Amino acid sequence: MIALTVADDEDAAARTTAERIASAIAAARAERGVAHVALAGGRTPGRTYRRLAHLPVDWRDVHLWLGDERAVPPGDPDSNERLVRDTLLAEPLDPPPLLHSVRGVDADPAAAAAAYEAELRALVPGDPPRLDVALLGLGEDGHTASLFPDDAALEEDERLCVAVHGLKPPFGRVTMTLPLLRAARKLILLAEGAGKAWAIGVTLNGPSARVPASLLADANVELITDRTGAPA
């Protein structure tokens, strides 16, 4: 089921998203003593991560994963890991959450995907592992994480992470797959702006492989947007 939340503007959308992530972390820690959170890359979520850093979250036993990563070194401006380090982890969180890097993604994305999957299977309970909350973005071309429109990776039903050649630079990427994302206790899709309104519409009315987020509709999804992205 996809629930739609329309915030007034980008700032309100970021605030709502940060609050949802904080609540999911608190619920997971209360119920299982640990929280597993997947984060998105791109331009949009930085504002959310900065807000999240200022919420009263108990970060003990919180594991941060990356829903996708670009094939660049961790310090590269295009790295999703760097985005998280420069925003959420730039604040003095005590103790800091544990960020799981997609190690070696710049050298060998396929090997890095296999290693990341093994790490997820070892640490996140469930088969498939159940992330407590995963934040996803939506590209203007319809992609989510690094699951691109009509890509063969959408057919994946066993592997939890795969290497893909994206439609947008940097082209080399590692992404979580649909089986892993569908198993998450909560998915938050944060997408705003008029340029994404069409993809938001397809997500809500799918399923369509043209907008892979629409293939997640059988999971517990909240789509958070602003007024400019909201369907008429």
Q: Which residues bind ligand 6PG (CB under 6 A)?
A: 40-44, 67-68, 70, 80, 137-139, 143-145
Positive or negative, the CA dihedral 178, 214, 71, 60 is negative
Q: How far is the CB of 195 from ligand 6PG (least distance, A)?
A: 8
3-state secondary structure 90-151: HCCCCCCCEECCCCCCCCCHHHHHHHHHHHHHHHCCECCECCCEEEECCCCCCCECCECCCC
- Cβ of residue 175: shortest distance to ligand 6PG, in angstroms? 8
Question: Which CB sits closer to ligand 6PG, 29 or 71?
Answer: 71
Q: What is the number of the residue whose Cβ is closest to ligand 6PG?
A: 137
When the beta carbons of 62 and 138 are compared against ligand 6PG, the nearer one is: 138
Closer residue to ligand 6PG in complex, CB, 67/97: 67
Three-state DSSP class for residue 175: strand
Closer residue to ligand 6PG (CB): 36 or 175: 175
Nearest approach, Cβ of residue 88 and ligand 6PG (Å): 15
In the bound complex, what is the minimum distance in angstroms from residue 113's beta carbon to ligand 6PG?
A: 14
The residue whose two tokens read 């989510």 is: 144
Q: Which is nearer to ligand 6PG, 64 or 145 (CB)?
A: 145
Q: Which residues contact 163 (CB under 8 A, 6 or more apart)?
A: 109, 110, 112, 113, 172, 173, 174
CB 193 within 8 A of CB 228: yes
Report, in Å, the least distance between residue 90 CB and ligand 6PG: 19
Bridge partners, 99 (sequence order): 64
